[in-house]
Structure 1
Amino acid sequence: MTISHRHVDNALNPAWRDAAVHLISSVSWDDTIPEDEAEKAIASVTNGTGYALRQLAPDSGVYYNETNPREPHWQWAFWGPNYARALSVKPKYDPDSLLWCQHCVGSESYEQQKNGSLCAAF
């Protein structure tokens, strides 16, 4: 965590500068449970626990390496008010959108297919 009240011009969600607590919630299961049960567990932590935490602290954020891949408001959660600027500079440094990952800046412009290929989202 980087607690600082000085303005720092970077992409880090400013919520990290004011954080007093880093809270992690999780759900686990073994690989013998049916897929639909695993999906229910994921939905519960995303739409139950995650929802409650977002209501409790709507201006907070998440740590990218410990996030729920189904985070519904990931642009805000990862970058907060910095997302728009990060998206605006992406074409300068990655004009062909070669740098892609789920929930990276600009990733909502593409949809990953089941075979792993990327297609433009419309």
Structure 2
Amino acid sequence: MELTLSLGIGLLVGSGVWLIQRPRTYQVVIGLALLSYAVNLFIFSMGRLTNRLAPVIDTSVEVDPSAFVDPVPQALVLTAIVIGFATTALFLVVLLAARGLTGTDHVDGREPER
């Protein structure tokens, strides 16, 4: 499980960095989104990966705190997903406005010379 998660995070980071280095603004926005997903997965994995554990504490038996997953990273990731969606929407609106004003979608605002 840890290997799969690590490979997924590495793939998202690699793809995000590659897209950020592209000349078009839409590709940069998608690259930033992929990087934010990779960071969210990394934070989520810090809460410990466990299977088949009860999410609710039973008060009739002795409670072992090490048997439960930390809920703080899950709450942080949930908040980060909402904020990431809002900033991606804002980036896309700015991208469309810049495209309308400059007539190009290149990061530096100029078409490459051929």
Higher strand share: 1
Larger Rg: 2
Determine if the TM-score, normalized by the shorter chain, exceeds 0.5: no
TM-score by length of 1: 0.27
TM-score by length of 2: 0.28
Higher helix share: 2
